[in-house]
Amino acid sequence: MKNERRRYMRVSVEVDVDVSVQISKKHSGHVTDISEAGLFVETSNQLEEGSFVVIKFSGQKIMFGATVCRLAANGFGAEFGSMNEAHREVISRFIPTPKQAKVSSVVQMPTVMLLCDEGSHSILAHELKEAELAFLEVRSIDKVISSMDRFDVICVVSDYIVGGENTLSILGKILEQEQHRNFPVIIYSGRYDVPYEKFEELGIKCFPKSNTTPKNLIRHIKLRFSEENK
């Protein structure tokens, strides 16, 4: 992280920020520096290194996924995850004028992984935002396992074909891991050729888009998460 951050211009700021490490619990703090790679939040709250946080800047609808990579007595440093052009545009506007880089909230929360091609789960992504659930979009089968190790993923929702490849094998590998034996893995697809029986044999739940709305799928995810944490 240190080497990566040095490649980007870093500016000092004094910005008030609300920080939440649980959906129902908030506390105050402020951002003291920001770059294209990440930022530092001064706060009295204790986080764990490797925790996934969601950052929302004041006046911006876009939320930034980040990983806590450095702990200090007075706060934590977080490294931004993958960003699209819209994310980069927001950050580029903040760097020359750091006083405008006000953060309204930093939320540490469970994350739903969407394994899909760009746009194929766009409505579901919108509904996840409305439900205030963090989500991580993964476009490559090769990045699934490493992303699960890095983020606090509570559920994987996958299309049948991603990047031209069948997802049956990689979803099976998730459930083969001891820590993920009962992990909720879901196929959510509008394709007509999905071999649902093969997925179900591995313990993967199948929800065709033809008879499952995004809202109903999110209800299932939240119910499953609640049951796991009783």
For the chain, the structural domain boundaries read 2-108, 111-228
Whose tokens are 């999110």? That residue is 218
Is 203:177 a contact under the CB 8 Å cutoff? no
Q: How many whole angstroms separate alpha carbon 223 and alpha carbon 217?
A: 10
The beta-strand segments (E) located in the chain are 11-22, 25-34, 38-43, 52-57, 63-72, 75-80, 103-108, 111-115, 134-138, 153-158, 161-162, 165-166, 185-189, 205-208
Q: What topology does CATH give the domain 2-108? A: Thrombin, subunit H (2.40.10)
CATH architecture entry for 111-228:
3-Layer(aba) Sandwich (3.40)
Distance CA 175, CA 180 (A): 5
Q: What pLDDT is attached to residue 14?
A: 57
pLDDT average, residue stretch 67-76: 85
Overall pTM surpassing 0.75 (yes/no): no
Axis-axis angle for helices 214-228, 122-130 (nearest 10): 50
Confidence at 135, pLDDT banded by 50, 70, 90: confident
Give every CB contact of residue 89 below 8 A, 6+ residues apart in sequence.
Answer: none
Per-residue pLDDT of 175-188, as tens digits, reads 888 777 778 999 99
**How many angstroms separate the first and last alpha carbons of the chain?**
36
The 8-class DSSP code of residue 92 comes to H
| Least confident piece of the model among 7-21, 59-73, 83-97 | 7-21
Among the ranges given (24-33, 44-53, 103-112), the one the predictor scored with the smallest mean pLDDT: 24-33
What DSSP assignment string belongs to 34-86?
E-SSEEEEEESS---TT-EEEEEETT---EEEEEEEEEETTEEEEEE----HH
Two structure tokens written together for 19: 């920080």
Which one-letter DSSP state was computed for residue 168?
A: H
Q: In this structure, what DSSP letter does residue 114 have?
A: E
**Which residue, among 201, 197, 174, 198, has the nearest Cα to 185 in the 3D structure?**
174
Name the residue with higher pLDDT: 76 or 227.
76
What was the pLDDT predicted at 148?
A: 79
